[in-house]
Copies of this chain bind each other. A is one copy, B any other.
Amino acid sequence: MITLTEENYIKAIYHLGKQGVETVNTNAIAEALQTKASSVTDMLKKLAEKGYADYIKYQGVNLTVQGKKIAIGIIRKHRLWEVFLVEKLNFKWDEVHQVAEDLEHIKSEKLIDQLDAYLKHPTHDPHGDPIPDRDGNFKQIEKILLSQAILGNKYKCVGVKDTSSAFLNYLDANAIALGTEIVLLHKEPFDQSIKIEINNREITVSQNVAKNLFLKTV
């Protein structure tokens, strides 16, 4: 049996290591899970012992194939629940994260498969992140940050990097939603702020915003 805590660690390692390709170090995990480095060390030993991770003292940790499979399963559940909360229960996209954090640990194959079907097999969650299918397959759509966009080009918003309420509420207030079209009008060299056209309005956003909004060329 895998515990809820082990699942949270595995998911954190997966995310910190960019889908599990990079090695992750202790302090990063402690920071992500709001815990202490010494607690992380203990857990890494356990995960290694159980075959979920390869861990070398002082050198960091990597998920095994089995560990990655578990991580993807949890992420699938997390994102499906997020879709459910937004589409069916009228949650806003900034309210779903905490609840999904708990729901992702409910263990029932049937539950998640039926939920998937009920939601008509969604491919992306409310923040634009891809939802793995039941075999764990998913494709990351080609996306760039607004900060990397090219002057004059036309784009479509497809995701957010920061999922904090503060950022999501900012986007709501400025009528920037997933699917919204954007044209890059000007990049200010002084402070990296960016002027964009959106819904026939011109607005200027800070570098901070530009570094957290994902776009796709259209």
Residues in chain A within 8 A of chain B (CB atoms): 85, 88-91, 95, 98-99, 102-103, 106-108, 110-111, 114-115, 118
Contact = CB atoms under 8 A, between A and B. Distances in A.
20 contacts: A85-B111, A88-B118, A89-B111, A89-B114, A89-B115, A89-B118, A90-B114, A91-B110, A91-B114, A95-B110, A98-B108, A99-B106, A99-B108, A99-B110, A99-B111, A102-B106, A102-B107, A102-B108, A103-B106, A106-B106
SS of A interface (majority): helix
A98 B111 CA distance: 11
Contacts of A118: 88-89
A83 B184 CA distance: 49
Given A95-B110, A99-B110, A102-B107, 17 more contacts: A85-B111, A88-B118, A89-B111, A89-B114, A89-B115, A89-B118, A90-B114, A91-B110, A91-B114, A98-B108, A99-B106, A99-B108, A99-B111, A102-B106, A102-B108, A103-B106, A106-B106
A101 to B, nearest CB: 10
A108 B90 CA distance: 14
